[in-house]
Structure 1
């Protein structure tokens, strides 16, 4: 009466954990935005500037956004790391926008339209970073897709 041992519990639990829902809904929208729309916008900004520093900044933002969107879309385990990198880079960029706009406002030849435009752009950037962070932090879709939140 030899009976085979029961299957290990770990094998069953791994099978259950590997069943995840596909990327869809708002998560799909954010993946498209991070992978396609954001980098296209950054490349446009790169073409409008002659500053090597700004070209490097826009290129870095485009690259981190693209990678974050791609690994999120593919549901790769490093997605949250890349999302944090992309969101932090975008937030730092917005902070520097505010800093340079404030410096420009104190200059002798202040261009108030430039200052308003930079402050508005920085505010929008900070708002979008906050939306993305809170979405990835509290979304049930992210929880179901990845098995956890950021």
Structure 2
């Protein structure tokens, strides 16, 4: 098998394990994309609690762009969020989707400025704030040890189901 198939196998098995851990009866029935005779081209057919589901995926970030995107995010967010955390005496937790445009920064500034505004809203309201992209979130909790936690939402090799990588910034 080649690297893409190996990666998909690991991800599909991890999905099966996660579903079972959550109390579902889950098995992989077949891998249509590996069978040229199969009429479907999805990654797998699963049986989940007695129902058949077609499972397919897409890559949001490719590895060569991911490191620059994470670095750009940390550069854009670290100092500003750290200053807010210290000023307001809170722990700020932000999740985001790394912006992997040209060299990891094509859409970064506007997106990261929106994250900072979300963090300010979380500080002012005490609410959990969600972004329109479905990935961005911000929360702030009062503390005597101000800090920032960034969690980028991407698929990490060691955690194929809902992978997150956290980077502590202060």
Give the structure with the higher percent helix.
1
Task: Check whether TM > 0.5.
Answer: no
Higher relative contact order (CA 8 A, sep 6+): 1
Structure of higher CA gyration radius? 1
TM-score by length of 1: 0.27
Using structure 2 for the length normalisation, give the TM-score.
Answer: 0.24
Bigger fraction of residues in strand: 2
